[in-house]
């Protein structure tokens, strides 16, 4: 590990010098490439430098303890040494995490798809609750939310809603939300007051740029139709809604939220690129790693990941066994308790693989 850290520090110093060279500055694309590479390793290099400084301080204190000291000063040195060793141990763990292979999608924007599952109207209402939850979480992080496609029900739920979350690190924070979310509560549509169990599925896809996924125009069929509102009510007499079918994979994407046919097409293409990237990555994982699943989940949309129990006011994440009795706060977007625990578990699993 120390050898790798030393190499990264040397590379960091090379890049620091390189971005100050006039010829590199004049070539903006090259300069941006180097500054991006510099930013990617900056945290690990600064942490390594702190680690080396702590090691030097430990060595200095150990030499002091080997000399003749009065009792009071010896006690101070021993206390300082104990604190430094604790810091060194914590920093070693932190450096191991920083050296783990990074998910190339972590800094990307996110396309999220929420669909009402089993439970009819109640499932659609729960899908709307999840959409509000993620919207509030995004707002708390200073991220922008844009609806790409939606299909409302008559009483305000969502049969389906697809939206983009734009912001630094959005995918790294939201990627473990994929799966089946289950709700247990008395539906507003239930007159008998019985508790029902309903579900909604969430899919989290990294946004795919055109450079990530190349789509041959001959591989897609574009159909135009009139958009409609809840319950099939017509809201547009012009053919502004767009349906795109990717012929080789059979993936179909529809978008009708905008009045402009051009805007609907752009939004539908964003979703299509994200789904094609997801498909390509799933195939790659299947080929290279025998479709292995990390402990916190594979992102499989069929996997039940979390239950929201209203009578008991609790939320349970089944992958990591974490339960919180702050249901209302969670639905208001206070998700960090779960997200931090999922990230930590994922890192711990990866570290086990590295150490084994």
Res 18 pLDDT > 70: yes
Dihedral pair phi/psi, residue 193, rounded to 5°: 75, 25
Closest to 128 measured CA to CA, from 141, 107, 147: 147
Most confident option among 115-119, 265-269, 284-288, 321-325: 321-325
Predicted local distance difference test score (pLDDT) of residue 355 = 61
* Residues 263, 119 within the same domain: yes
End-of-domain residue from the set 67, 98, 129: 98
Predicted local distance difference test score (pLDDT) of residue 308 = 97
The 10 Å Cβ neighbour count of residue 347 is: 16
* Residues 226, 320 within the same domain: yes
User: What range defines the domain where residue 188 resides?
Assistant: 110-349
Predicted local distance difference test score (pLDDT) of residue 66 = 87
Q: State the chain's mean pLDDT as an integer.
A: 84
The proportion of the chain whose per-residue pLDDT surpasses 70, expressed as a percent, equals 88
CB 24 within 8 A of CB 34: yes
- Tokens standing for residue 227: 């958009």
* Residues 167, 207 within the same domain: yes
The 10 Å Cβ neighbour count of residue 29 is: 6
Most confident option among 27-31, 35-39, 78-82, 346-350: 78-82
In a domain, 89, yes or no: yes
Res 292 pLDDT > 50: no
* Residues 333, 224 within the same domain: yes
Name which residue leads in pLDDT, 283 or 332.
332
Predicted local distance difference test score (pLDDT) of residue 318 = 95
Name which residue leads in pLDDT, 307 or 105.
307
Residue 239 CA to residue 305 CA, distance in Å, equals 39
Pairing of β 304-309 and β 179-185: parallel
Instruction: Domain count for the chain, please give it.
Output: 2
Strand locations in 53-168 (E): 110-116, 144-152, 158-166
* Residues 81, 131 within the same domain: no
CB 277 within 8 A of CB 206: yes
CB 111 within 8 A of CB 100: no
CB 203 within 8 A of CB 113: yes
**DSSP code for 230:** G
In a domain, 105, yes or no: no
Q: What is the mean pLDDT of residues 105-116?
A: 90
Contacts of 150 (CB under 8 A, 6+ apart): 158, 160, 161, 162, 257
* Residues 73, 180 within the same domain: no
* Residues 126, 256 within the same domain: yes
Looking up tokens 């008991």 gives 312
In a domain, 68, yes or no: yes
Q: What is the mean pLDDT of residues 338-346?
A: 92
Residue 343 CA to residue 320 CA, distance in Å, equals 11
In a domain, 104, yes or no: no
Q: What is the mean pLDDT of residues 83-106?
A: 86
End-of-domain residue from the set 43, 63, 98: 98
Predicted local distance difference test score (pLDDT) of residue 180 = 94
Q: What is the mean pLDDT of residues 249-277?
A: 84
Q: Write out the DSSP string of 246-275.
A: ETTTTEEEEE-SSS-HHHHHHHHHHHHHHH
* Residues 127, 266 within the same domain: yes
* Residues 45, 80 within the same domain: yes
Res 302 pLDDT > 70: no
- Half-sphere exposure (CA, 13 Å, Cβ side) for 149? 27
In a domain, 354, yes or no: no
CATH number, domain containing residue 114:
3.30.70.1660
The proportion of the chain whose per-residue pLDDT surpasses 90, expressed as a percent, equals 41
pLDDT tens string 22-55: 998 999 888 988 988 888 888 889 999 999 999 9
Question: Which range, of 23-37, 121-135, 232-246, 333-347, averages the lowest pLDDT?
Answer: 232-246
Residue 113 CA to residue 342 CA, distance in Å, equals 20
Q: How far, in Å, are 151, 161, 313, 355 from residue 230 at the CA level?
A: 7, 13, 31, 54
* Residues 159, 57 within the same domain: no
Q: What is the mean pLDDT of residues 242-250?
A: 89
Q: What is the mean pLDDT of residues 204-211?
A: 79
In a domain, 355, yes or no: no
* Residues 244, 344 within the same domain: yes
In a domain, 103, yes or no: no
Predicted local distance difference test score (pLDDT) of residue 277 = 83
Residue 315 CA to residue 77 CA, distance in Å, equals 47
Q: What is the mean pLDDT of residues 150-172?
A: 89
Predicted local distance difference test score (pLDDT) of residue 237 = 54
Residue 339 CA to residue 173 CA, distance in Å, equals 7
Res 71 pLDDT > 90: no
Question: Which range, of 8-17, 36-45, 50-59, 189-198, averages the lowest pLDDT?
Answer: 189-198
End-of-domain residue from the set 38, 65, 98: 98
In a domain, 356, yes or no: no
Q: Where residue 296 falls among pLDDT bands split at 50, 70, 90?
A: very low
* Residues 41, 139 within the same domain: no
Res 295 pLDDT > 80: no
Looking up tokens 């430098």 gives 49
């Amino acid at each position: 590990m120390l050898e790798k850290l030393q190499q990264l520090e040397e590379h960091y110093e090379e890049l620091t010098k390189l971005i100050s060279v006039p010829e590199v500055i004049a070539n903006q694309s090259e300069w941006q490439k180097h500054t991006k590479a510099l930013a990617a390793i900056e945290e690990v290099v600064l942490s390594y430098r702190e680690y080396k400084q702590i090691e030097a301080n430990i060595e200095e204190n150990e030499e002091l303890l080997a000399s003749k000291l009065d009792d009071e000063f010896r006690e101070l040195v021993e206390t300082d040494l104990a604190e430094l060793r604790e810091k060194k141990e914590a920093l070693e763990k932190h450096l191991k995490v920083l050296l783990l292979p990074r998910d190339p999608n972590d800094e990307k924007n996110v396309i999220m798809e929420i669909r009402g599952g089993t439970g009819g109207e109640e499932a659609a209402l729960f899908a709307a609750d999840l959409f509000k939850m993620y919207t509030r979480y995004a707002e708390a992080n200073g991220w922008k939310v844009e609806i790409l496609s939606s299909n409302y029900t008559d009483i305000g739920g969502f049969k389906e809603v697809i939206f983009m979350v734009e912001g630094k690190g959005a995918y790294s924070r939201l990627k473990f939300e994929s799966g089946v979310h289950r709700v247990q509560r008395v539906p507003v549509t239930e007159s008998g007051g019985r508790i029902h169990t309903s579900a909604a599925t969430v899919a989290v896809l990294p946004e795919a740029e055109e450079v990530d996924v190349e789509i041959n125009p001959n591989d897609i069929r574009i159909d135009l139709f009139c958009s409609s509102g809840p319950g099939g009510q017509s809201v547009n007499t012009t053919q502004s809604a767009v349906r795109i079918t990717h012929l080789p994979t059979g993936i179909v994407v529809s978008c009708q939220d905008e009045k402009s046919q051009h805007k609907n097409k752009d939004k539908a293409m964003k979703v299509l690129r994200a789904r094609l990237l997801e498909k390509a990555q799933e195939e790659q994982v299947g080929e290279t790693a025998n479709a292995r699943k990390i402990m916190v989940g594979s992102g499989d949309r069929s996997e039940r990941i979390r239950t929201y129990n209203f009578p008991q006011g609790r939320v349970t994440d089944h992958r990591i066994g974490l339960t919180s009795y702050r249901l209302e706060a969670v639905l208001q977007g206070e998700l960090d308790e779960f997200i931090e625990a999922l990230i930590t578990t994922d890192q711990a699993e990866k570290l086990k693989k590295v150490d084994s």
